[in-house]
């Protein structure tokens, strides 16, 4: 019998479970993560097996490299792997909106220049006619 367990959830997962899942989601091996963090592969294995825990400075680096929050690694609450996709979508949406705003600003600056030229031409005509 196979029960589906949400091992990312705060009730079922351990620190090591969340760390391993986030590492795999980041497409890194234990050796690659160890090299990036400046620790031994056996240290990463110990953390993932819940035999040891990283110190605060390594925990901060680890969270950054795995693109999750420190709180999520420790408790399972906060910004974890399931939020990464939503954040990427949000960032893409914001980038698209910024692009539109830049384009609109450029159009408005061009229109403003044309308005100024027309206004100047009208004033000249009025002065000549007067």
| Best CA proximity match to 25, nearest among 73, 60, 59 | 73
| Best CA proximity match to 74, nearest among 33, 16, 34 | 16
For the segment 59-97, what is each residue's pLDDT rounded down to a tens digit? 999 998 898 989 888 888 877 765 445 566 677 777 778
d(CA 35, CA 44): 10
For the segment 15-37, what is each residue's pLDDT rounded down to a tens digit? 999 999 999 988 999 999 999 99
Share of the chain above pLDDT 70, in %: 83
Please, which contacts does 37-44 make with residues 24 or more away whose CB atoms are closer than 8 Å?
37/61, 37/62, 37/65
Q: What confidence score (pLDDT) does residue 105 get?
A: 83
Provide the whole-model pTM: 0.56
Identify which has the larger pLDDT, 61 or 6.
Answer: 61
pLDDT-derived band at 9 (thresholds 50, 70, 90) equals very low
Q: What confidence score (pLDDT) does residue 87 get?
A: 60
Average pLDDT, the chain: 83
Which residue stretches of 49-80 are H helix? 56-66, 70-75
């Amino acid at each position: 019998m196979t029960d589906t367990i949400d091992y990312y959830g705060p009730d079922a997962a351990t620190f090591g479970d969340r760390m391993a899942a986030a590492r795999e989601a980041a497409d890194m091996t234990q050796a690659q993560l160890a090299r990036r963090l400046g620790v031994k592969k056996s240290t990463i294995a110990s953390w993932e097996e819940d035999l040891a825990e990283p110190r605060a400075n390594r925990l901060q680096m680890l969270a950054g490299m795995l693109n999750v929050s420190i709180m999520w690694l420790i408790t399972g609450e906060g910004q974890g792997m399931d939020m990464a996709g939503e954040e990427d979508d949000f960032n893409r949406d914001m980038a698209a909106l910024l692009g539109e705003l830049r384009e609109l600003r450029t159009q408005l600056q061009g229109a403003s220049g044309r308005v100024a030229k027309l206004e100047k031409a009208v004033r000249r005509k009025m002065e000549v006619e007067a």
